[in-house]
């Protein structure tokens, strides 16, 4: 079984081009950290309420990436909010996407290619070799959303992160989008960690908006 972060990363990749689809700035980075924290919560290493994230068990998970995040939480003397940890871990794990991509390559799900741009610049792409894992994720999410099923706790998180990263088009058709969006928005309100991701992302949006406003720049219509 793939981790939350690996599933999310697969959904964020264009299968044919092997490049990331457009997502709002920092949304994927924060969402991937949220996925790591939720994995730790599922493994009963941490817990969270509306105000704080708590260390429950600092024993190794056997996953280097999860253990790295767990050790950061362990080393903090004071209890901090989930929002704090989303931003802190995102800042520390600056190569998180690359690390997860390599894990998917090692699992023979992706391959790495280099394409020349203007015969000079190299662009890395990650086409899908085996899409069975991704299709399983999409089928699972589609069934939960379109058949109005009670979502599995694991899928509540993933659906919430899909919403934050605006990845609905990767899963649903135009005809399905209205119904899917309404259902996804309801489910997204169920998970505290996903809400913290959304708050961190909104904070970044506000900073960018203020920066644009201070320069007097106005985007072209």
Residue 19 falls within a domain, yes or no? yes
Q: Percent of the chain having pLDDT more than 90?
A: 44
Q: Is residue 117 part of a domain?
A: yes
pLDDT grade, residue 208 (50/70/90)?
Answer: low
Instruction: Pick the more confident residue, 169 or 213.
Output: 169
**CATH code: domain of residue 184:** 1.10.3630.10
Q: Give the pLDDT score at 146.
A: 92
Percentage above 70 pLDDT, the chain: 86
13: containing domain = 4-205
Q: Is residue 26 part of a domain?
A: yes
Position 216 in a domain:
no
Is residue 213 assigned to a domain?
no
At residue 51, the pLDDT reads 83
Q: What is the pLDDT of residues 108-152, one digit of tens each?
A: 998 887 655 444 444 567 778 888 989 999 999 999 999 877 888
How many domains would you assign to the chain? 1
Residue 195 clears pLDDT 90, i.e. is over it: no
User: Which residues 6+ apart lie within 8 Å of 147 measured at CB?
Assistant: none
Q: Which pLDDT score is estimated for 130? A: 86
Write the CA distances from 75 to 55, 58, 193, integer angstroms: 10, 10, 20
Question: Is the predicted pLDDT of residue 82 greater than 60, yes or no?
Answer: yes
Q: Is residue 219 part of a domain?
A: no
Residue 39 lies in a domain: yes
Let me know if residue 99 belongs to a domain. yes
Q: Per mean pLDDT, which range of 51-60, 126-135, 160-169, 209-218 is the poorest?
A: 209-218
pTM for the complete prediction?
A: 0.83
Distances 90 to 85, 156, 175 between C-alpha atoms, Å: 8, 21, 35
């Amino acid at each position: 079984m793939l981790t939350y972060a690996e599933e999310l990363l697969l959904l964020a990749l264009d299968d044919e081009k092997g490049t990331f689809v457009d997502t709002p700035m920092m949304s994927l980075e924060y969402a991937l950290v949220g996925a790591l924290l939720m994995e730790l919560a599922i493994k009963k290493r941490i817990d969270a309420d509306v105000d704080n994230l708590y260390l429950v068990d600092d024993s190794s998970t056997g996953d280097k990436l999860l253990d790295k995040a767990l050790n950061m939480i362990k080393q903090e003397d004071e209890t901090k909010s989930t929002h704090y940890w989303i931003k802190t871990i995102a800042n520390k794990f600056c190569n998180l996407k690359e690390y997860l991509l390599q894990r998917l390559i090692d699992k023979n799900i992706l391959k790495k290619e280099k394409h020349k741009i203007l015969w000079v610049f190299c662009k890395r792409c990650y086409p899908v070799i085996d899409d069975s894992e991704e299709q399983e994720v999409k089928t699972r999410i589609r069934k939960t959303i379109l058949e109005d099923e009670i979502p599995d706790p694991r899928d509540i998180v993933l659906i919430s992160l899909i919403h934050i990263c605006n990845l609905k088009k990767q899963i649903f058709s135009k005809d399905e989008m209205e119904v899917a969006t309404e259902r996804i928005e309801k489910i997204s309100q169920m998970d505290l960690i996903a809400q913290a991701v959304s708050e961190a992302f909104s904070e970044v949006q506000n900073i960018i908006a203020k920066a644009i406003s201070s320069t007097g720049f106005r985007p072209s219509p």
